[in-house]
Each structure stands twice: as C-alpha cells, then as structure tokens.
Amino acid sequence: MSFQEYLKYLTRLFVQYVETPKEERRRRKQPREAWSTRWFGAIPMSIKLLWRK
C-alpha cells in the first residue's frame, strides 16, 4: 500500500466519522469490560464465579 493510498483511506475514514451524527456514534460504542478483567484477564472472573458458588 503506497502512502497516497493510505492517506486516501485515512481521509475516507475521517470524513465518514465526521458525517456520522453524534447520537449514532454514541450508540455504536461498545460497553467497556470491568477494570479487573481488562487489567488481569480471566483470573478475577474465575475467582468471582468460584466465590459465588
């Protein structure tokens, strides 16, 4: 991919982002994982499941 193609790609993404209404962008956002899962992986989740049992 040449630099010009990459620049066109980035420009197209940016224009698409700017043209999207703000409310729709907010609806598309994925809910974040719990901080413990993000930082430490599946270990806290497995401990939590064992604790609840």
Mean pLDDT for all residues in the chain: 84
Q: 41 vs 16, which has greater pLDDT?
A: 16
Residue-wise DSSP of 1-30: --HHHHHHHHHHHHHHHHHS-HHHHHHHPP
pLDDT over 90 (residue 9): yes
HSE of 49, CA atoms in CB hemisphere, 13 A = 6
* Res 26: pLDDT: 77
Give the type of residue at 47.
I
pLDDT interval class at 14 (50, 70, 90): very high
Output the pTM of the full model: 0.47
